[in-house]
Amino acid sequence: MANVEMQAYKISAVEFKNNVQGKEKLSFSNKISYNVKYSQKQFCEGALTVEVLDKEKPDTISIKFTLNGAFRILKDTEKEFIHVETFKELFPIAKAFVVTLTSNAGIPPIFLKNIDIESQEIYRMEMGK
């Protein structure tokens, strides 16, 4: 059973640069950061920031946006598990946004690679220790 339930999401702070000319060869680099803020006992907000750009010529094409999701926490769960579950809810939306944006811009769609968040190290800072 899931530990969280998405209540809403929105994409904010979109920056998109498209200076692709003809059949340029592009090599993409992706940067992704994710943070969760806990506002109340049963609610949290995830903020996923995605940046995609050409490694060689970042002025040719670049995309940067933040995807925010509001979640209700369904049961008492460690924050690390909530972090993973909320990321798994938001990342497919971010992937779809990049594909849709690039397709509608008249260039071949860009597909973000899947991320196995559970294999990544999640750091937790204990306050007051």
Kindly tell me if the per-residue pLDDT of 118 is higher than 80: no
pLDDT for res 120: 63
Q: What is the CATH number of domain 4-111?
A: 3.10.420.10
Average pLDDT over residues 103-120: 84
Q: Is the dihedral of CA 123, 92, 111, 19 positive or negative?
A: negative
Read off the pLDDT band of 41 (50, 70, 90).
confident
Q: How many C-beta neighbours within 10 Å does residue 97 have?
A: 17
Domain boundaries, the chain: 4-111
pLDDT, averaged across the chain: 87
Poorest-confidence range of 20-24, 33-37, 103-107? Answer: 20-24
Q: Which residue has the higher pLDDT, 126 or 120?
A: 120
Average pLDDT over residues 86-93: 96
Kindly tell me if the per-residue pLDDT of 38 is higher than 50: yes
pLDDT for res 125: 40
Q: What is the pTM of this model?
A: 0.85
Q: How far is CA 13 from CA 27, 48, 82, in A?
A: 24, 11, 24
